[in-house]
Amino acid sequence: MSDLTKLSAVELSGELSKGSVSAVEVTKAHLDRINSLDKSVQSFLHVDNAGALKQAEEVDKNRKENKKVSALAGVPLALKDVLTQKGIPTTCGSKILEGWIPPYDSTVVKNLKNAGIVILGKTNMDEFAMGSSTENSAYFPTKNPWDLTKIPGGSSGGSSAAVSAFFAPLGIGTDTGGSIRQPAAVTGIVGAKPSYGGVSRFGLVAFASSLDQAGPFARTVLDCAMLHEVMAGHDPLDSTSINQPVPDVVKAAQLQDVKGMKIGIIKELGGDGWQNGVLNRFNESVELLKSMGAQVKEISIPHSLYALATYYLIAPSEASSNLARFDGMRYGLRVDDGNLSAEEVMNKTREKGFGKEVKRRIMIGTYALSSGYYDAYYAQAQKVRALIAQDLTNAFKEVDVLISPTSPTTAWGLGERVNDPMAMYLADLATLPPSLAGIPAMSVPIGLADEDKLPVGLQIIAPFMNDDRMYRVGGAIEASLKTKWNGLLIDQAPALGGAK
Amino acid sequence: MSRITREEVAKLAELARLDLPESELDEYAKQLEIILESVAKVGEVSTKDVKPMSHATGLVNVFREDVTKESLSRDEILRSAPATEDDRFRVPRILDEE
C-alpha cells in the first residue's frame, strides 16, 4: 500500500470498504505523521492517540461483523478546538478554558462519531475564533505548511494546516467572517461555510451567534462535500437550525459541468490594494469558467463596501455578550487569593484569561452596545446588514452563483500584522458579505501567485440553502485544473521535513 | 468621530469586567480609536425605513416538545469547576462584610 496519508477521503473509503487496509492502519499512519512532523507546523493543540485508535478499532470491528457503516467510516479528521468532544480538552485557543473537559459532545461531533469518522485531535485556532492568522492563539502560532515562515490563515488555521500538511484528509473549522474560507485559500485546500443554520451550533462555543457556522476542510471538492453531508442536518438542540433536507452537495461535486450556469463576478471585490498574483489567478478562473460554457458577467453589490464596518460592529457586539459567561465561577480559570470579592475575581480572571484581541473586541462590542452609541453603531450596522443581504438576494435574481477572490492577498509573514488590528481585519474583505447574509460560500484552490508562489483561492457564493450550487462550480473548476496540473494544487506543496 | 481617551477605555474595561493594567490603557485607546473610526463608516449609509437584520434564517419562536430527559452528570460538570463544596460550585463572597 502506498503512503496512506497521501490518499483522499474518497480513496481511503474505497480501500477500507474493499478491506485492503484497516481503519487502525489508516489512523496509525496519520498519527505517525503528526507525531513526527507536527512539531514544525504546530497545527494540533491536543492529539488523542489512544482515543483515535479506539474509534478506529470500533470501525474495524463493525466492518468485520458486516454491520452497516457509512462511506467515511475509518477516515481520520482534525477537529477545531472550538467544538466540544466529550472527555477531550476544549480550549478555544484560550487560557481561560485551559483544563476544561467538556461533559458532552457537540452535535457536529455526534454526527462524526455516528459516521465512524476518526477524530485525531483538536486543532489550534485564534482565541475564540477571533483573528485571521492563528497567531492570536494563547498557546502558539501555527505555521503554513507551504512556507513555515507564513501564517496558515485563521481563525481555523490549525485545521487548514493539518489538512494541507497531510496530517488528516478531513478537517473541521468554523467560519464567522471567513475563518474557514481564508485559511483554505492560503493553504491551497478546499473549505466551505454552509448556509447559516445548515449545521448545528450545539456544542460550538459561541463567538458571534448570528454568524458562527461550522464547516468542512478537505483537499478535494468531493471529500469536502462528503464531510459537509455528514455534518449538516436539522438539530432540535439548536433553535436556529434549518428544518429542511441537506442540499445534495455530493452529487453536485461530481457533476463537473457548468454549461449554461450564470456566474456573477462581484465588481467591488478586486482592484486597487489587491495582490496582482491573486487577481491574475482569479481572472484566469473566469476565463476557464467561460471556456466550460458558463455565462459570466459582472454584478455590483454596492453595500459590500460597508461589510467590513458592519461586521466589526456586529461580531464584537455579539462577542461581548457571549463571552460574559467566562466569569471564573463554573469552569476554566479562576484568579483568586481567597480575599477577593466575586466581582474582583471576575475582573482579574478575565484580564488574565483573555488575550489582547479578545479584550479589544469585547471593548468594541461594549462600546457599540452602550447607551448613547447603540443607535449609531449596533442598530445602524444591523440595518446595513439587511441592505447587504438585499443586494445579494437581488444579484441571485440574475445569476446562479457569485465569485470573487477569497482573500486580497496570499499568506503573509508570521508577526507582520499582529500589532495592526485593522490590517488583520482586511483579510476578511471578500468573505464578510456572504457571512452577514448567512448564505453559503466556499474556497477552492486556483493556483499559485506569481510573486510568492503561494496558494490563491476562488470564493464561490450561492443562495441560501443552495449549497449544492457552489460545489457544482468548485468541482468543475477542480476537475479542469487537475487535468492542467496533472494533480491537485496541494501536490505541488514542498515536502515537510523532507519526509513527504 | 470623537477621540477615545484613557478614561473611556478604563470605563469600557470596567463595564466589560476587565481589570486592565494602567500601563496598557494608552495602547488600547489608540487601537480602539482606529477601529471605531473605521466602523463609523456604517453611518454613511442611508437606512431610512430599513428593518434591522439580526440573523439570516427568519425563524421566530422555535419550540420543541417539553419532555423530561436525562441531564448532564453533576460530577462531570463539577470536575471542571475551579472550586466546589458539597456538590456545588464554590464562589467567592458576593456581599460586603458589614
Supply the DSSP symbol for A5. Answer: G
Print the SS3 string covering A153-213. Answer: CCCCHHHHHHHHCCCCCEEEEEECCCCCHHHHHHHCCEEEECCCCCCCCCCECCCCCCCCE
**Length of chain B counted residue by residue:** 98
CB contact under 8 A, B56 and A196: yes
The residues near A219 (Cβ < 8 Å, ≥ 6 apart) are A8, A163, A164, A169, A189, A190, A488, A490
Cα–Cα distance between A380 and A374 in angstroms, integer?
8
Question: Which chain B residue is nearest to residue A100, measuring alpha carbons?
Answer: B80
**Residue A75, domain extent:** 4-304+385-492
Indicate whether A341 belongs to any domain: no
CB A499 within 8 A of CB A485: no
Q: Is A155 a catalytic residue?
A: yes
Total beta-carbon pairs less than 8 A apart between chain A and chain B: 178
Supply the DSSP symbol for A375. Answer: I
Which site among A106, A321, A363 would you substitute to test the B interface, given the most B Cβ atoms closer than 10 Å to its Cβ? A363
A386 touches chain B (CB under 8 A): yes
Q: Domain segments of chain B: what residues?
A: 6-44
Cis peptide before A155 (omega within 30 of 0): yes
Express the helix, strand and coil content of chain A in percent, nearest 5 each.
45, 15, 40
* Cell 474509534 belongs to residue: A55
Beta strands in A202-361 (DSSP E): 213-218, 262-266, 295-299
Nearest chain A CA: its distance from B31 CA (Å): 8
CB A186 within 8 A of CB A153: yes
- For residue B58, name the pLDDT band (cuts at 50, 70, 90): confident
Cα–Cα distance between A397 and A394 in angstroms, integer?
5
* A 139-198 residues inside an 8 A Cβ radius of B: 195-197
The grid coordinates of residue A198 equal 445548515
- For residue B2, name the pLDDT band (cuts at 50, 70, 90): low
Instruction: Tell me the sheet residues that pair with A191.
Output: A217, A443
Here the ipTM equals 0.94
A100 touches chain B (CB under 8 A): yes
Cα–Cα distance between A433 and A64 in angstroms, integer?
48
- For residue B95, name the pLDDT band (cuts at 50, 70, 90): confident
Report, as ranges of residue numbers, the positions in chain A whose pLDDT lies below 70: 1-2, 498-500
CB contact under 8 A, A240 and B15: no
Cα–Cα distance between A30 and A8 in angstroms, integer?
12
Cα–Cα distance between A491 and A487 in angstroms, integer?
7
CB contact under 8 A, B59 and A210: no
Q: What is the pLDDT of residues A406-448, one digit of tens each?
A: 999 999 999 999 988 888 999 999 999 999 999 999 999 999 9
The grid coordinates of residue A360 equal 479589544
A329 touches chain B (CB under 8 A): yes
pLDDT for B74 equals 92
Indicate whether A354 belongs to any domain: no
CA-based torsion, A49, A54, A55, A56: positive or negative: positive
Phi, psi of A280 (to 5 degrees): -60, -45
B1 touches chain A (CB under 8 A): no
Indicate whether A181 belongs to any domain: yes
Beta strands in A196-347 (DSSP E): 213-218, 262-266, 295-299
pLDDT for B3 equals 83
Cα–Cα distance between A173 and A195 in angstroms, integer?
14
Residues of A within 8 A of B59 (CB-CB) are 197, 239-240
Prediction pTM value: 0.97
A381 touches chain B (CB under 8 A): yes
Print the SS3 string covering B45-65. Answer: CCCCCCCCCCCCCCCCCCCCC
Q: Could you give the 3-state DSSP secondary structure of residue A474?
A: helix
**Length of chain A counted residue by residue:** 500
Q: Is A80 a catalytic residue?
A: yes
Indicate whether A377 belongs to any domain: no
Residue A240 belongs to a domain with what CATH number? 3.90.1300.10
Which site among B5, B9, B24, B35 would you substitute to test the A interface, given the most A Cβ atoms closer than 10 Å to its Cβ? B35
A316-A318-A322-A326 Cα dihedral, nearest 10 degrees = 20
- For residue B62, name the pLDDT band (cuts at 50, 70, 90): confident
For helices A49-64 and A23-41, the axis angle rounded to 10 degrees is 160
Indicate whether A409 belongs to any domain: yes
pLDDT for A497 equals 76
pLDDT for A499 equals 45
Question: Which chain B residue is nearest to residue A348, measuring alpha carbons?
Answer: B19
Q: What is the pLDDT of residues A232-242, one digit of tens each?
A: 999 999 999 99
Distances (CA, A) of A193 to A142, A144, A167, A329, A412: 21, 21, 22, 34, 23
Nearest to A116 by CA among A230, A238, A271, A14: A230
Indicate whether A285 belongs to any domain: yes
* A 449-488 residues inside an 8 A Cβ radius of B: 464
The grid coordinates of residue A16 equal 477500507
Beta strands in A393-468 (DSSP E): 401-405, 441-448, 455-461
Indicate whether A370 belongs to any domain: no
Q: Is A179 a catalytic residue?
A: yes
Cα–Cα distance between A34 and A217 in angstroms, integer?
17
CB contact under 8 A, A422 and B38: yes
Nearest to A87 by CA among B3, B76, B78: B76
CB contact under 8 A, A310 and B81: no
Q: What is the number of structural domains in chain A?
A: 1
Cα–Cα distance between A473 and A442 in angstroms, integer?
10
Question: Which chain B residue is nearest to residue A424, measuring alpha carbons?
Answer: B35
B56 touches chain A (CB under 8 A): yes
Pick A360's closest partner by Cβ from B28, B41, B83. Answer: B28
Pick B45's closest partner by Cβ from A242, A351, A387. Answer: A387
pLDDT for B98 equals 56
Question: Which chain A residue is nearest to residue B36, measuring alpha carbons?
Answer: A364
pLDDT for A498 equals 56
* Cβ atoms within 10 Å of A322's Cβ, excluding its own: 18
H/E run at residue B89: strand B88-89
